Amino acid sequence: MSINLLRRLGLALAGAGVAFAMAACGGGGDDSGGGNGSVRLLNVTNDIASLDLYSEKSDTQTLRNEAIARDGLGEYATLAKGTYSFQVKRAGNEATLLEQTSRSIAGDGKYTMVAYSYEGAYKSVLLSENDDTKPDAGKTRLRVLNLSSDAGNVDIYVTDANTPLSDASAIILALEGGSVSAFTSVNSGDRRIRVTGAGNKDDVRLDIPVAALGDTTTVNLLLTPTNGGVLVHGYLLPQGGDLTVAKNSQARVRLIASVSTGGSVGATVNGAVLGTALRSPQVAGTYTNVPAGALAGSFTVNGAAVTAPTATLVAGNDYSLMVAGVPGASTVYVLPDDNRAPTTTGRSKVRLVNGVAGDVSGLSMTIDFESVADGTLLGTASTPKQVPFGTEKAVQVTSPLSANPLYDPDNGVTLIEGAVYSVFVLSGNVVNSVETPQGIMRRDR
């Protein structure tokens, strides 16, 4: 079921940090049935150590789950059938972080409050677990909640462990960020689940090598956002059952060449070749998925080895690895890339990256004469800034060491709403034996 269909059915989306209404994720949303209902908390936020769950009725709040750790699932707490508001708070903190209001708890109904996302964009969904449809023997009913608006539309593949993705057919196509699929029947047992960008099998966002799908069970697959913005984390939650954490084990990296006199850069990182002779100034066209963890690999400039940096690539994050300097004395800089979409409508997100060899002054950038970056030093990136989108936007990068701008497109640039950009100023551009810094703007997503 797409989010548009949910709207047509009148299943409202809540605003201000709430992604789905309870009814959007299953039946049982009325006060019918005998006995009491039950609710529990699932904490799949990126960065909150522990959370509390409260219910509220008649202006009285009751603690239902306490100090649920990140990637943790609370025990079901019993409450009488009826209509409640639910609040999620940081453990031990009185301030409400997330709230679901006017939610009907059915007698004998079970519900999971899912808290997810990252600082500045926390969201929640109250997931109903009351669908009593039983799949056929040897089958599992699978539903996917794409809780990552940053990731956009994705395809879902469920296969045997060794089936090449090239030979597989998606069971769910183009599932929108911020939407929930219909239930799909798949073979039960140990299965491999892969998530890709819509229509692109080469764009793997998540690979779960072994997902235990129980016979004749109903399972929810939750896809949550990463701090990089493009990859997703996975969580398998059988209806009424225990959580299986299936977080991403990959990071995405790309190579940037910024070596004087047009130096050629090569790199292999954690077993993946990022480039063999990327001539400066240049930004590799795509990111490459590599195993997360300690950065291990080799770098070269004009075929000569360059010392690899000491760094840890965090699973789910994006990075630019910039080789900058002069031949024989180049440095590899590890730049975290925040490719999450802007959190404000009507905005694009832009940052400045300084790769100018020998720069000791720092670079600054304005867009439509408003400061976006100031004093960005060699080997660093400015903090991404959200700016109004539009056409013919005047972008200018300057240096205290230069009388002329280092980047100043004659006709301005077009910034698309919701897009993420980097402006790179790199070394290596030689024209008629004269070298000048080269500005390159890239849409990162």
| pLDDT, tens only, 250-265 | 999 999 999 999 999 9
The structure tokens listed for 392 are 């013919």
Sign of CA dihedral 277, 283, 289, 292: positive
Sign of CA dihedral 226, 232, 236, 240: positive
3-state SS assignment for residue 262: helix
pLDDT digits (tens, 9 = 90+) for 320-336: 999 999 999 999 999 99
pLDDT at 432: 86
Q: Name every residue whose Cβ is closer than 8 Å to that of residue 60 and which is 6 or more positions away in sequence.
A: none
Per-residue pLDDT of the chain (445 residues; tens, 9 = 90+): 343 333 332 333 333 333 343 334 543 444 445 689 999 999 999 999 999 999 999 999 999 999 999 999 999 999 999 999 999 999 999 999 999 999 999 999 999 999 999 999 999 999 999 998 999 999 999 999 999 999 999 999 999 999 999 999 999 999 999 999 999 999 999 999 999 999 999 999 999 999 999 999 999 999 999 999 999 999 999 999 999 999 999 999 999 999 999 999 999 999 999 999 999 999 998 999 999 999 999 999 999 999 999 999 999 999 999 999 999 999 999 999 999 999 999 999 999 999 999 888 999 999 999 999 999 999 999 999 999 999 999 999 999 999 999 999 999 999 999 999 999 999 999 988 889 999 999 999 9
Buried b (16+ CB within 10 A) or exposed e, 14-50: beebbbbbbbbbbebbeeeeeebbbbbbbbbbbebee
Environment class of 196 (CB within 10 Å of its CB; exposed 0-12, middle 13-18, buried 19+): buried
Beta strands 420-426 and 347-355 are parallel
DSSP code, position 119: T
| Residue in the structure block whose two tokens are 């020998």 | 358
pLDDT at 30: 46
For residue 442, what are the β-bridge partners?
A: 422
The structure tokens listed for 324 are 């900058």
* Contact yes or no for 376/384 (Cβ under 8 A): no
pLDDT at 8: 30
Residue by residue, DSSP assigns 183-216 as PEEEE-EEEEEEEEETTEEEEEEEEEEEEEE-TT
Quote the CA–CA distance of 419 and 339 in Å, as a whole number: 9
Cα angle vertex 148, ends 73, 183, to 5°? 70
DSSP code, position 7: H
Backbone angle region of 262, left / alpha / beta, with phi > 0 → left and psi within -120 to 50 → alpha: left
Quote the CA–CA distance of 209 and 188 in Å, as a whole number: 15
3-state SS assignment for residue 390: strand
